Structure 1
Amino acid sequence: MKRVVLAPNPTGTGHNVRMLNIGNQLLNSNPNFEITVLLGSRQDVFIDLFEKSGINVVDLSPSGVVDSSKKSHLSEELNWETMISNYFVPTFFNGDKILKYIGIFSKYNTDIVISDYNINATIAAIILGKKNIFVTERHNFTLVDISLSDLKKAGFNINDNEITEAKEHLEKVFNWILENIDLLITDKVIIPDFLDKLNEDNPKVHFVGSMYRQREGKTLTNFDYSQDYIVATSTNTTMLEKDSLLAINTYISAFEKLSKKYPNLKLLLIGDVPNVVEIDNRLNVEVLSYVPNWEELIKHAKLVWSHPGWISVTELAYLNIKSVFYLPSFMEYHEVEAFNRLQFLGLPTISGDDFEGLSDITSKILDGNLDTIFEAYRILNPDKDGLKRGVDKILSIIESGD
């Protein structure tokens, strides 16, 4: 019996979703696998989902639920201390966490580690000589993938020398990881013309498209799917709390303008809205917290406003949902590369406080005057077999050397 440990990065729900999908597919392929997930975020949602799938759960933060969407992670000063010492090291390159992962992998007699961009877990697996697979939406560390000029345009006060040095060192770490893993699976399309640093000629690297599996969890009850509505998401990891507020206010302002043209339209806002946000009672706005099973909801929506978090992008592409991708600020540096990639492919994108732009492009889509979305989706997701292809690659590593 093979013992498999799933290690999603505890910084966002997308990592959990991909690991849940892969774990389910592995058990469908071989029910004799003993699979454990090391869960470090949104335990309130995902413990139940993993356990119902037959996957053992180790709660890495039993003292409380971790939700990376509720606080700032950076300041406007970007230098070695704020970016590396205060953020990257505690989160991604943490000696204490690496040692704890070493202990967990040893305790569970782990045969293979599958990490979803969990750098600490991957390094621990490499140290122990475990078979290890790196699942990622990122083709390098995000700081490496954004230029100094884009960071400055975003409004960061940058120490050029320190951030340049950090980018150089981080790229060396990523390349070392790539040399020492057995397999890299990505759901983000590799585009050489986009100056992609990930080399698809590397036999370890495989783009598989969306690793989508129908979401588990409760669906909405007493919700009228026949009404005309837009879904807007604001549950993403945020670097600066003010950007989360800006996103919500931009959505509401755009919807207020749209409501004058489409009086029967409703806005369904997914995420926790802070008390400082005022919503006019005359607007047809409904607020929901995180919805783990949103397939039925978005299938019936007229449109989705989404941040460019890649798990959302791939799911929307897989399901062919008309969408506009919104980034409140380039200070959300971890989503700039994805935002630029979507823009490069011709998908509708809006940034900043441009609520009029968001309203106008939405109006064009609702009126049927913008039909390029699905062409780009076919590039993002060439077929519907990404999850099976990815897991087949994983199985080949698990079974090698038996």
Structure 2
Amino acid sequence: MILFAPNPTGSGHNMRVLSIAQAIKKQRPDMPLTVALASLQPTFTPLFEKSGIEVVDIAGRLVDYSKKSNLSKQLDWATYIGSYIATTFLSGERILSYLALIAEHKPSVLVSDYNMAACLAAIFTGTPLVFVTERYDFTLCQLQDHDLAEGGFEVNALEMSRARTALHSQFSWMISQAQLVLTDKPFIAALDQGTPVAEALASGKAHFVGPMIRDITVQSGLNVREQLNLGDAPFIVASISGTTMFAENKDALLAAYLDSFKILRERNPDLKMVLLGRKDIEEQDGVVCVPYYPDWMGLLREASLLISAPGWITVTEIAAMNIPTLFLLSSKSEYHELEALRRLELLGFPTHIGYDRDRIVELIQGELEKDTRSSTYYAPHQQVAAPDGEGAARAATRIIDLCHGRVVSLTESKAA
């Protein structure tokens, strides 16, 4: 039996776990799978259950980190470690919950998608641990104080240095105790050299498997254009969902998208925009607003352009599907996605920080005018999707092998 524990801070963690679990079911239909779901339960519970995966709601309440601010502009030990990390990633109550769950289910393997509390519970109990990660270290450890200051934070340098030391130590120890590490983020030396996951890649414990996403060949049967009343018009998709550090950033980005689209619409009266986000807006000409669309991939296939925050599960999906995308971060205060944006820029994707209306109009117009039929246009995509976008299947094979004891641990390897 395999127990999955996605981190509760965003839909991407749930989606990645769902994709891996579905791939395992495809290879081993008889394998019992359970997921400890801790966020967005109404959306994801039916998706997991439809795939034959038992769901345990470990939170006991609806959790959605996109609805509120999650951080203070004052960064010190109390606000960052005490009020954020200790409650979101390293909660003592949550560690004990996973310990109880492990005792009840006795899994052969625990698969954690960046869920630190679940990792610690697995290590404490001696349960074989698979760590699935889009981070090479804790996010804070790959950013400098000046990055945070540019995001408007007031940084207590001494206390944040202590925080980095502690978090790096925990992350390194966790990687050393895991039996297997899987990542969908390509290594970039300028960003990743010396990180725990980079060292695990070098030792053979970690593996870059590519996009751990749903089967992109599956068709939902939904007619996107008919269902959303888009007709034959070209349209862009603007996504504002996902975890936010500051709610005002999301509000400002939403306003910028709507204001930018008014100008774009004046230039091209046929253009439409599908706005994906968990917030109601006033009706606007040419804008279709939906909180969630079940055929995300079908929607992207029809779109002329996606505008999105650099959430990594989205990055891997658009890379595998060759979707033209502009990655936009509202502010450096959304520090949790700053490293990803830098990585995308180094890979060659179009990126931008800020919500200046005129600049966003210029960027969108520029992307719409590019020749997306050119093979060179998708060179950045291929670096993420390499070799074929089938990362979930490769992850599933490695996890199944671990369940059957076919993975030799690093300690055993050295002893031999």
User: TM-score of the superposition, structure 1-length normalised?
Assistant: 0.94
Does residue 112 of structure 1 match 2:113? Answer: no
Mapped contact 2:5–2:115 kept (Cα < 8 A): yes
Partner of 1:307: 309
Q: What secondary structure, in the 3-state scheme, does the structure 2 residue paired with 1:143 have?
A: helix
Mapped contact 2:142–2:191 kept (Cα < 8 A): no
Whole-angstrom CA distance in 1 between matches of 2:141 and 2:81: 13
Q: What secondary structure, in the 3-state scheme, does the structure 1 residue paired with 2:401 have?
A: helix
Letter in 2 for 1:305: I
Whole-angstrom CA distance in 2 between matches of 1:236 and 1:185: 23
In terms of fraction of residues, the more helix-rich structure is: 2
Which has the higher mean CA deviation after the structures are superposed, 304-313 or 249-258?
249-258
Q: What secondary structure, in the 3-state scheme, does the structure 1 residue paired with 2:132 have?
A: strand
Whole-angstrom CA distance in 2 between matches of 1:205 and 1:14: 20
Mapped contact 1:266–1:284 kept (Cα < 8 A): yes
Q: Find 1:231's aligned residue among 237, 244, 250.
A: 237
Letter in 2 for 1:62: G
Mapped contact 2:20–2:213 kept (Cα < 8 A): no
Does residue 242 of structure 1 match 2:268? Answer: no
Give how far 1:343 is off: 1.1
Q: What secondary structure, in the 3-state scheme, does the structure 2 residue paired with 1:286 have?
A: strand
Unaligned runs of 5+ in 2: 408-416
Q: What secondary structure, in the 3-state scheme, does the structure 2 residue paired with 1:201 have?
A: helix
Mapped contact 2:58–2:97 kept (Cα < 8 A): no
Once the two structures are superposed, what CA deviation does each residue of 1:261-282 show, in whole Å capped at 9, x if it has no partner?
A: 21110111001235xx656x4x
Give how far 1:354 is off: 2.3
- The equivalences for 1:321-340 within 5 A come to 321-340=323-342
Whole-angstrom CA distance in 2 between matches of 1:178 and 1:77: 30
Does residue 172 of structure 1 match 2:173? Answer: no
Partner of 1:381: 385
Q: What secondary structure, in the 3-state scheme, does the structure 2 residue paired with 1:144 have?
A: helix
Partner of 1:154: 151
Whole-angstrom CA distance in 2 between matches of 1:218 and 1:19: 24
Does residue 30 of structure 1 match 2:28? Answer: yes
Mapped contact 2:96–2:121 kept (Cα < 8 A): yes
Q: What secondary structure, in the 3-state scheme, does the structure 1 residue paired with 2:202 have?
A: coil
Partner of 2:267: 261
RMSD of the alignment, in Å?
1.9
Letter in 2 for 1:392: T
Letter in 2 for 1:51: E
Partner of 2:395: 390
Unaligned runs of 5+ in 1: none
Give how far 1:94 is off: 1.4
Whole-angstrom CA distance in 1 between matches of 2:274 and 2:353: 20
Mapped contact 1:225–1:297 kept (Cα < 8 A): no
User: TM-score of the superposition, structure 2-length normalised?
Assistant: 0.91
Partner of 1:341: 343
Does residue 187 of structure 1 match 2:192? Answer: no
Mapped contact 2:260–2:358 kept (Cα < 8 A): yes
Give how far 1:30 is off: 1.1
Q: What secondary structure, in the 3-state scheme, does the structure 2 residue paired with 1:133 have?
A: strand
Letter in 1 for 2:6: P
Equivalences, count: 395
Whole-angstrom CA distance in 2 between matches of 1:35 and 1:329: 39
Give how far 1:225 is off: 6.0
Letter in 1 for 2:45: I
Give how far 1:202 is off: 2.1
Partner of 1:209: 210
Whole-angstrom CA distance in 2 between matches of 1:270 and 1:384: 24
- The equivalences for 1:104-143 within 5 A come to 104-143=101-140
Whole-angstrom CA distance in 2 between matches of 1:242 and 1:78: 18
Whole-angstrom CA distance in 2 between matches of 1:272 and 1:93: 27
Whole-angstrom CA distance in 2 between matches of 1:361 and 1:389: 36
Whole-angstrom CA distance in 2 between matches of 1:243 and 1:90: 22
Mapped contact 2:24–2:393 kept (Cα < 8 A): no
Whole-angstrom CA distance in 2 between matches of 1:239 and 1:299: 30
Would the alpha carbon gap of residues 396 and 225 (structure 1) be closer, same or farther in structure 2, given more than 3 Å must change?
A: farther
Give how far 1:369 is off: 5.7
- Percent of counterpart pairs with the same letter? 36
Partner of 1:6: 4
Whole-angstrom CA distance in 1 between matches of 2:63 and 2:188: 34
Give how far 1:353 is off: 1.8
Give how far 1:399 is off: 1.2
Whole-angstrom CA distance in 2 between matches of 1:95 and 1:62: 16
